[in-house]
Amino acid sequence: MSGSPWDEPGPRTTPRPAVAVLLPVVISLVVQLAAATAFALWTTGPRYVLASIALAAASALALLATRRWPGPTVAVVTALTALGLLVPAIGPAPFVALGFAIVAALVGGARLWAWISVGVGWMLALIGGSLAGIEWHPVVVAVATLAIGTCFAIGEGLRSRRRLDEERRVHASQRRRAAELDEQDRMARDMHDALADSLSRISAESRVGLARFDDDPERSREALTSIRSLSAAGLDEVRGVLSFLRGEEAGAPATAPLVPLPQLAQLPSLISGRSTLGLSVTLDDALRGDLPASAVQTSAYRIVQEALANIVRHSAAATATVSLARDAGEHGDLVVTISDDGVGIPREILERAGVRGMRLRTEVLGGTLEIAPALQTGTVVRARLPWNAPA
């Protein structure tokens, strides 16, 4: 019964189909009517036939309410069964409707209804029968008690199984949602890194263009051309991310083609693009063509990209070095170091999205990230990434 304090809280299973409700009703009607009628005619003749048929039919038809009110249904069926046990002609007739009502109540979350109703009903039936002078053989009482206990065991088992199935479905849904959120977060970091890098370079190029507008028109033209190229590249990356988030296939018509994930082979192009921004960057590649897993390369590229973008933002002119090496330790991690001699990264920058994104990239792969002041001036960013981290 919806809203009843006797109903259990928690996840509910989907409503049972109509056939699951009608089948117990039909079985109960056939078995109970046949048994009650036969037993009445066999013991006392037609005297109690109508009472037998009425109680047997009523308890069976009460099961029609199981789908909506499993708790009250088991109480009603229990009362009718107890009353039937006190009618002399019915006595040991099989009331299978009670078994169906018990199982349905337990599975439907109405455990208190089932335990209290059946417990009280069985005690009243035994006490009432004793007071009415009805003598039941101990074997009959034992068999009936065992049958009731079996129904409870079946109901509890089905209830536990359904609860486990529901928990598995919930956990599976949570895992899918977590995976979707992780993927969206990764795409957001990619978008941030791409936009931050492009906008930093656009800002630097625009400063150069404005400063040389009067005395060096050709240099200003180059700056504007670079800004146009950077804007187009940034828009391509953003459109690629948005196409992915919309679930568009790579081969399907989209606003823009998807941009492939960057790899370490693209670092020279990234670094050469900084040479016109007041920043001198050199690449020290000790890998000699030995490259880690694709996901590690992408994270390393994005970390270098963000670190260089921070240097461009906070140092008007600086010299930076990007080093790639494989650690000689047991696991042979990839070590990426970005050092510069600029003014250093302000402390408040360490809590912003760009640096948080670098930390998250390394943590997702099981690596570490260190950001510390250089010995004299500037900053050293060192990322240690597992060589064969999974994608």
Which has more pLDDT, 52 or 111?
A: 111
Mean pLDDT, rounded, for 218-226: 70
What would the mean pLDDT of 279-284 be, rounded to a whole number?
Answer: 87
pLDDT at 129: 73
Helices (H), 217-349: 217-245, 267-272, 294-314
Mean pLDDT over each residue of the chain, to the nearest integer = 76
pLDDT band, very low/low/confident/very high, at 306 (cuts 50, 70, 90): confident
Residue 248 pLDDT more than 60?
no
Cα separation, 222 vs 185, in Å, equals 36
Domain boundaries, the chain: 18-136, 263-391
Question: Would you give the DSSP letter of residue 7?
Answer: S
The single residue listed with the structure tokens 């599976």 is 172
Vertex 323: Cα angle to 319 and 329 (nearest 5):
150
Is pTM beyond 0.75? Reply is no
From CA 212, how far away is CA 224, in angstroms rounded? Answer: 11
* pLDDT class of 94 with cuts at 50, 70, 90: low
Look at residue 34 in the predicted model and tell me its pLDDT.
80
In a 10 Å sphere around its CB, with 0-12 CB exposed, 13-18 middle and 19+ buried, how is residue 28 labelled? buried
Laid out side by side, the sheet with 279-285 consists of 279-285, 318-326, 334-340, 379-385, 368-373
Q: Decide: residue 259, CB within 10 A, 0-12 exposed, 13-18 middle, 19+ buried.
A: middle
- CB–CB of 79/40 below 8 Å? no
How far apart CA 59 and CA 98 sit, in angstroms, is 8
Is 289 strand, coil or helix?
A: coil
The predicted pLDDT at position 359 comes to: 85
- pLDDT category of residue 260 using cuts at 50, 70 and 90: low
Residue 271 dihedral angles phi and psi, to the nearest 5°: -70, -40
Over residues 238-247, the pLDDT tens digits come to 666 666 555 5
Average pLDDT over residues 48-73: 83
* Total residues found in the chain within this entry: 391
Q: Residue 50: phi, psi to the nearest 5?
A: -65, -40
Lowest pLDDT segment from 23-27, 93-97, 371-375: 93-97
DSSP 376: S
Q: Report the distance separating Cα 356 and Cα 347, nearest Å.
A: 13
Which tens digits make up the pLDDT trace of 139-187? 877 888 888 888 889 888 888 888 888 888 888 778 777 766 666 666 6
Query: Is the pLDDT at 63 greater than 80, yes or no?
Result: yes
Grade residue 62 by pLDDT with cuts at 50, 70 and 90.
confident
Is residue 372 pLDDT above 90, yes or no? Answer: no
How many CB atoms are located within 10 Å of the residue 217 CB? Answer: 11
Reading the block at residue 355, the tokens are: 């640096």
Q: Tell me the mean pLDDT in the region 86-113.
A: 77
User: What integer is the mean pLDDT of 273-287?
Assistant: 79
Looking at domain 263-391, does it have CATH number 3.30.565.10?
yes
Cα torsion angle, 315, 321, 327, 332, sign: positive
